[in-house]
Amino acid sequence: MTGCSGLLGGWLVEELADRGAEVVGLLRDRVPGSRLLLEGIHERITIVPGDVRDRDVLERVVNEYEVEVVFHLAAQTIVRIANRNPLSTFESNVAGTWNMLEACRRCSTVEAVVVASSDKAYGAQEELPYTEDAPLIGRHPYDVSKSCADLIAQAYHATYSLPVSVTRCGNLYGGGDLNFSRLVPGTIRSLLNGEAPVIRSDGAFVRDYFYVKDAVLAYLALAERMLDGEACGRAFNYSNESQVTVTEMVREIARVAGRPDLEPLILDEVTNEIPAQYLSAQRARSELDWAPRYDLDSSLEETVAWYGRYLSSAAGDS
């Protein structure tokens, strides 16, 4: 697995280990605050230092550990960083993807490769919700990096019959995301500190917010179907199919956190982001018999509780 120290990666590693899988995780940076290290999940898997930009390392790991299923999650995921530094984003998200796919193509043990794309790969479109048949027309650096990685993955299946499929999720959230510039963790931290949450946009942007535990089960459902010889070469949207504006999301978090009195501060300073994005998950529901298990209230309750414990512990250590 690549990206094992990220939000989705940490939860996916834990679930795989719980199921008795032998997990090999590629780790570029040792991030002390990540769930992978913070909660001791790394002790249950094999960690290999490396970077997805190094194809030789990827090929060695996949071959030496006789990897059967690859979850390729590694990416630079912050839109404002992509706008500020597009080359590093392209190197991680695009070159990292083709390096991973090429390593898998050259290893006979690989039976399934799940590549994490994003709803951002679709770019801005008039017809919503996105379906998997919509064109991939990202225009800004992060969106373009996801469009490219997505198309490259499809090319490896079409050209080389590599057993690869693509996931396209909405905005993931859940305990363990320590990038507090993101809406959900930043809002929760502000609220728990008794401060007004900050919205960088005008608050009217519409998004799919997708709980990380539902994403884990979605990825595993897809991988299992691929091992059964189904779903390869396909892309799947995953979503609760419940869209909210940024302001609505912040107010819902405030309600769950018990601080509805703290009104958000709206900065309206965002550029190069798509105003409205949301997904149809009909294909995953019908072809994979998949459905989300968590609603917004229950998932936010778990998420707020996780950050409450984390921030209390961090305060106690300081």
Q: Which residues are catalytic?
A: 142
The CA-to-CA distance between both ends of the chain, in Å, stands at 33
List, in sequence order, every beta strand (DSSP E) within the chain. Answer: 24-27, 46-49, 69-72, 112-116, 164-169, 171-173, 198-199, 206-211, 235-238, 243-245, 265-266
Q: 290 burial class (0-12, 13-18, 19+ CB within 10 angstroms)?
A: buried
Closest of 252, 270, 242, 268 to residue 191, by C-alpha: 252
Q: Cβ of 214: how many Cβ atoms within 10 Å?
A: 22
- Count the neighbouring beta carbons within 10 Å of the beta carbon of residue 141: 22
Amino acid present at 89: T
Question: Cis ω on the peptide bond leading into residue 163 (within 30° of 0)?
Answer: no
